[in-house]
A and B are shown apart, each in its own frame.
Chain A
Amino acid sequence: MDDLIVKTITKLVVPFIQLYGIFVILHGHLSPGGGFAGGAIIGASLILFTLAFGVNHTNKVVPPSVTEKIETGGIIWYALLGFVGIAVGTSFLSNKIAGFPLGNYGSVISGGLISLATIGIGLKVASTMITLFHRIIEED
């Protein structure tokens, strides 16, 4: 697409969409939302960037090797959080018994395992959406 209005508006709007997506992920335990909705918002902003500027330009800005590492890093981070519970002495994926600091009620840093797991899920969903879109829309 070679429209000038679409390119200018996209350059102005995409940082605000990503900021909103990061806000929804980080406040996953205080307000409705969570990992899946926040990851979908960040993925949608990168799909908008791809539609306005073309696939070749987006592959220089966000190369496929970076999205591969984010995707595998998300799953390995989630599994390592589960193994902390086994290392202490209780069962897999435990929160209060394994000694995670719970924090104050109602602040952003609270909940122990919940905030860390939400960040892992959000990154994984965003990288999945952009990888699927690039694979399907690529031509020879």
Chain B
Amino acid sequence: MGRYVLRRLAHGLIAILGALLIVFVAQRLSGDPVALLLPMDASAEDAAAMREMLGLDRPIPTQFWVFLTDAARGDFGESYHWNAPASELLLDRLPATLELAFAGLFFALLLAVPLGVLSAVHRGSWIDRGAKLFALLGQAMPAFWVGLLLILFVAVRLEWLPAFGRGSLCHLVLPAIALGWYPVAAMTRTLRSAMLDILESDYVRMERAIGLPESSIVWRYALRNAAVPLVTLVGVYFANMLGGTFVVEVVFAWPGVGRTVVEAVFSRDFPVVQAGVLLSAVVFVVVNLVVDLSYGFIDPRIRRD
């Protein structure tokens, strides 16, 4: 288990290093930062001085090393637009994004777990067919469109819930549904096929043979076995949802990391963009690490090896 954790940690670090490299390359692609920072009529000496100050006269590997050490300290430079350190700016907005992402995940599970279990238990019934249809439609609807439809029907037409902003729990509902919509399909299908296998297993037959109530066989004894494939999927789709927050936050004017980064792209506020990209990579890696480690808690067989 210890070695397994170390290996996962190393993989995570490599992934973050890779993300840093991508950001660094993109930064160099963005053209000469000196030209961007200096007034048009600056002299060649000014430019050279600026270059030296920014360390751009040093060899590329040295520059990358400086970039890495800065990144390790969380220093991605000042936001041009907000006049604040980019990382601080985004960390301030991170709770809002995480709140949205977890709410989305909660919604997805809230729908997928009963749908997946019931369509396995009642295979071929109307609920199974309905879930399948729902899954097909769900996978073809982009999150931002679901968001727009929710605003149109629930907020504008029915006036049930607010369409924009963050505040009460009511504000969270629509963005969470929009974000959680897409993973429902895959989670339902995975859970269904896992449950189908489990419900035909010898141990479920044994549990039936000793007279355990069917409801507790399904929802307690079988479902915990289905948790491993489900958690794997949660890991995969949580990453997907982190990407989704960028779009959903824009749709619902949610004051999180995603919307800030999208705005930064428009104002060419590069420090914020690179900090945002790295932040998502770090969150992604952490989430996957947590998922990997959680297997041990769900499945005792993994704990020992």
Q: Do A and B bind each other?
A: no
Binding site for B on A (CB under 8 A): none
B interface, CB within 8 angstroms of A: none
